[in-house]
Structure 1
């Protein structure tokens, strides 16, 4: 498509530009190269301007270095602004030597040490760099301490963190580092382009053929045919392309200090937006993060409950030799019981009083009563069927025209697997409002009826013996109760009998009846017992034969009849003369 080609051309242009821009002279220092402005602020986050914030983070190059608290009239944000400005100057300066700790008013104070400033430094910031080659950073107060450490111990730890941050900032601004990260960026973009191309080809060709189209020169396989992918699989491939580029862009942004700073800004904005209160329920404020966490925990509880119920059914209940229906009932009750318990625990953990949900419950009840009648009726019917156990998993039932085995009993519907291996979803309400034939209810032994007709004049004793023989020879016919034969009626064309057999597997009644019919027909042929076909006698009254025709039509018919008789007479005479002449010769 055109937008894919346009995106690939754009990415290729970006890659070329990166190669050209990153062709930097190795003689440049870290202070000479700065392709991006570093004036991105966090004012939109209200971190530095809100005086109610007890501590504010100090972020350099997208990394959280330390956190400082508000002191006296200075807010935490103001202190962070001053410290960040000094640290950025130290990173850009070639005269920085280290961080020192001095005592002042019994509090440790951190200073930045510089060599004597050069003429260039004085021209760039003459007001910031003094002739003392020492610059004030900040004072470590009791609010700035980390854990149970003293002010002095905290100052020592902060000194190491600051020195490492400055050294890392200098290294990441060097031309060698920029060149190396630029090469990695170009490699990542090339790999992302190849991956995108491969995913595009996978939408049309199989995997091996797609690789051959992306990487020319590989041995070709002429037997490969275009793939017939479903729409869902194509959507998955498109989602995989999105994930590929999202991960690639994220990795590239993490490579450079400026882009990492922007990434941290974006992350902070999203985090603050998600942490803002969007719902007040029961006097408690809930943010998007808390709501998503609640939904995630609820989904995890549902998945865990389903796993536990399935494990209980397949590993524990099968050992007890319970019926399949009883196992299903216990597993379903366990599953929904665990879900209800987990929901109550989560609501209590989030500080929600269950009594405050009464109003919502009443509103849902009205909605269910009016708008969700079918769902409520099916759900209630499912609960009744679950505990009444009139229909269980594994039963062979007939609902209307559908005949099959119950595969699954759900709270809203029952899955019926027909003899044609077709799954039919039947609402639970049908099982309470209509007649349902359950061949396995309470006991699975059932009797099958097989009607048979023989010709008049057949020996009925031989017919009965043949039918009993066919039934007793079949392995699926029960011996107790034994098969029976009933002489049911004198039919129009046959003597009607009925063979009754018992089976313990009603779901196999169709194959069983077919086998019995094959065997009965074979025995009847051996014993010369005829199976009649329908016959009808037609009697016509003689007085209805004369037909009155119109005189004109009657004359035409007589004329045609005379012509046919004379023509037949002429033909017979000709044939006789020809035959006489032949005999004379």
Structure 2
């Protein structure tokens, strides 16, 4: 189901990208035919937002000026109550088109307007048909009869959209109750394809009502001539050039088109990267950090190539960007040096993996858990819940302590000072007892007590214990300090204060002190009563308790049919024959011999030290985790 969720997310992004590209590309053919946007030699003649034909320029007037004059005359003809009677006649060797009913001159056909292979009269005959039909239709659409017809058609379009939308709602409810449930069943032929089918279904349910209402609104607007004219004016405004780059001028419409294509490209690339990570990289069993770096590099490369192609299709000369690229290169070398350094450091961290998400690390004064490794920075969450954003370059320039790198087992060192004259055996016994009583201290490696040095005022010891989870070291260290203080009080062991001897030399003080000593009775202080503890022996280990005969019997039971599950196992495309899992061996020892889990781990470590079992790669001691071990006699 995890892959299916990735498949679903990737499908959504890919379909969104394709949808945006289709929406962006769909107006290209219309915009290409729009002379306002693409032609500078001819200009369109428009009636109620419909382009009839194009006129060229003459000696005294440009094409735009001619078109503006003709469009104003045609607008007056549309508002005129007189009928339309378009005729053609020659006037001073010029072909003229006129409305005979209003005696108004409409336009003159010149050689600049003629299509190759025809003359002005033939061109006038074609335009006469366009003008006559368009003017008659425009006058008809302004009558009261047409307005009543328009109202009825608009109501019908709205009712049709409402009915269609309601039908789609019923279809969605019925489909979710029947189709989606059947697709989720493993026996369904569409089960393996539901990552594609479900996004398609959602796009259909969401997109179809939108298209339905847009169609209804567009149809109503198309019936109304004023709406068509307003839409054409908006397109003319957006089609006006707003800046010039090189030899080409670009309008707001073209900028919106480029923006839409870029958004579609972004969604498409994101979807492809998700597919790459969820299907190819996960099946190769690569780590999450490698998936992230491959995904980031693939995304940047595809986006870069896609933008280059879009800019070329947009008509921008890529060669003209060479100067801009040079300027950006200088900017990266100076102003953006730190950003580039952090980005490259992020790639190195992801590839070499000195730190990974979830690791417990110390960087300078920062101690916390790595939450996210980005392209430029890494997020660390400290023990007090504060998220700190650290530039990636700091991990390569500074020393980093990573307690989670490789084997998570780590040691805690607790310095302790006791007074001169303390019983050293009692000190060692009290410290070892403190370590044994704490449930999170590992039995293997063993806790140790080290006599460090003879201090100025105390004997300095160090208690060294081992933990399974390094992130708990601060809490465990505090608990051990509390326990040490309690045990020292019980054993009568004194933790000394710093001591200094003060020598006073004065002839006046000596007689005074002698008088005080002779006139005052000295009271002997009673010595401190210390509980009479019996001499407790050193903590006896399992290694001392288990004899060779016990180990031989234990190995026989472990290899018996009722013992461990010894079989060939596969991990990351590698086959390891005749091995068992460390955590399963610990469970078996706990159930069979009633050991604690720590004692079971110690028994496993004893078997490794005796040369009876080993790690399949000789890389780990015996641990209560998903690691493979085998008996030496099965190691070929």
Which residue does 1:68 correspond to in 2? 53
Quote how far apart the aligned CAs of 1:422 are: 1.9
CA 1:493–1:271: 2 relative to 1, 3 Å: same
Quote how far apart the aligned CAs of 1:296 are: 5.3
Task: Give distance in 1, aligned partners of 2:497 and 2:278.
Answer: 56
Quote how far apart the aligned CAs of 1:410 are: 3.2
Q: Deviations over 1:193-239 (max 9, x none)?
A: xxxxxxxxxxxxxxxxxxxxxxxxxxxxxxxxxxxxxxxxxxxxxxx
Which residue does 1:502 correspond to in 2? 466
Q: Does 1:483 align with 2:447?
A: yes
Q: Does 1:346 align with 2:314?
A: no
Which residue does 2:140 correspond to in 1? 167
Which residue does 1:534 correspond to in 2? 497
Which residue does 1:58 correspond to in 2? 46
SS at match of 2:491: coil
Which residue does 2:245 correspond to in 1? 279
Task: Give distance in 1, aligned partners of 2:441 and 2:285.
Answer: 26
Which residue does 1:390 correspond to in 2? 354
Q: Does 1:371 align with 2:335?
A: yes
Task: Give distance in 2, aligned partners of 1:493 and 1:51.
Answer: 98
Task: Give distance in 2, aligned partners of 1:487 and 1:259.
Answer: 95
Task: Give distance in 2, aligned partners of 1:299 and 1:403.
Answer: 40
Structure 1 residue runs of 5 or longer lacking an equivalent are: 1-44, 115-124, 130-134, 144-150, 178-252, 548-585
Which residue does 2:519 correspond to in 1? none
Q: Verify the 8 A CA contact 1:483 1:500 in the aligned structure 2.
A: yes
CA 1:78–1:302: 2 relative to 1, 3 Å: closer
Quote how far apart the aligned CAs of 1:288 are: 5.3
Q: Verify the 8 A CA contact 1:414 1:426 in the aligned structure 2.
A: yes
Task: Give distance in 2, aligned partners of 1:101 and 1:500.
Answer: 108
SS at match of 1:420: coil
Task: Give distance in 2, aligned partners of 1:255 and 1:422.
Answer: 62
Task: Give distance in 2, aligned partners of 1:297 and 1:366.
Answer: 29
Task: Give distance in 1, aligned partners of 2:498 and 2:466.
Answer: 34
Task: Give distance in 2, aligned partners of 1:416 and 1:433.
Answer: 17
Between 1 and 2, higher relative CO (CA 8 Å, sep ≥ 6) is seen in 2
Task: Give distance in 1, aligned partners of 2:319 and 2:77.
Answer: 59
Q: Deviations over 1:473-515 (max 9, x none)?
A: 5454344333322222344454433222333433332223233
Q: Deviations over 1:383-441 (max 9, x none)?
A: 43343333333333322222222333333333322222222232333333333323333
CA 1:90–1:263: 2 relative to 1, 3 Å: closer
Q: Verify the 8 A CA contact 1:254 1:260 in the aligned structure 2.
A: yes
SS at match of 1:543: coil
Task: Give distance in 2, aligned partners of 1:436 and 1:399.
Answer: 5
Which residue does 2:73 correspond to in 1? 85
Task: Give distance in 2, aligned partners of 1:80 and 1:273.
Answer: 18
Which one of the candidate residues 285, 289, 305 is aligned to 1:325? 289
Which residue does 1:441 correspond to in 2? 405
SS at match of 1:169: coil
Task: Give distance in 1, aligned partners of 2:313 and 2:499.
Answer: 85
Which residue does 2:379 correspond to in 1? 415
Q: Verify the 8 A CA contact 2:311 2:318 in the aligned structure 1.
A: yes
Task: Give distance in 1, aligned partners of 2:349 and 2:227.
Answer: 62
CA 1:485–1:405: 2 relative to 1, 3 Å: same
Quote how far apart the aligned CAs of 1:532 are: 1.5
Task: Give distance in 2, aligned partners of 1:500 and 1:51.
Answer: 85
Task: Give distance in 2, aligned partners of 1:404 and 1:167.
Answer: 78
Q: Deviations over 1:34-54 (max 9, x none)?
A: xxxxxxxxxxx997xx99544
Task: Give distance in 1, aligned partners of 2:35 and 2:276.
Answer: 53
SS at match of 1:440: coil
Q: How does 1:160-309 map to 2 (within 5 A)?
A: 162-171=135-144, 265=233, 268-274=236-242, 278-280=244-246, 286-287=250-251, 289-291=253-255, 293-294=257-258, 297-298=261-262, 301-302=265-266, 305=269, 309=273
Quote how far apart the aligned CAs of 1:56 are: 0.5
Task: Give distance in 2, aligned partners of 1:529 and 1:304.
Answer: 74
Quote how far apart the aligned CAs of 1:173 are: 12
CA 1:57–1:388: 2 relative to 1, 3 Å: farther
Which residue does 1:553 correspond to in 2? none
TM-score of the superposed pair, with normalisation by structure 2: 0.48
Task: Give distance in 2, aligned partners of 1:57 and 1:475.
Answer: 91
CA 1:84–1:315: 2 relative to 1, 3 Å: same
Task: Give distance in 2, aligned partners of 1:460 and 1:323.
Answer: 51
Task: Give distance in 1, aligned partners of 2:224 and 2:316.
Answer: 45
Quote how far apart the aligned CAs of 1:284 are: 5.7
Q: How many residues align?
A: 390
Task: Give distance in 2, aligned partners of 1:162 and 1:479.
Answer: 99
Task: Give distance in 2, aligned partners of 1:545 and 1:256.
Answer: 122
Task: Give distance in 1, aligned partners of 2:360 and 2:402.
Answer: 6
TM-score of the superposed pair, with normalisation by structure 1: 0.51
Which residue does 2:415 correspond to in 1? 451
Structure 2 residue runs of 5 or longer lacking an equivalent are: 1-33, 91-95, 117-123, 151-220, 511-636
Quote how far apart the aligned CAs of 1:273 are: 3.1
CA 1:317–1:418: 2 relative to 1, 3 Å: farther
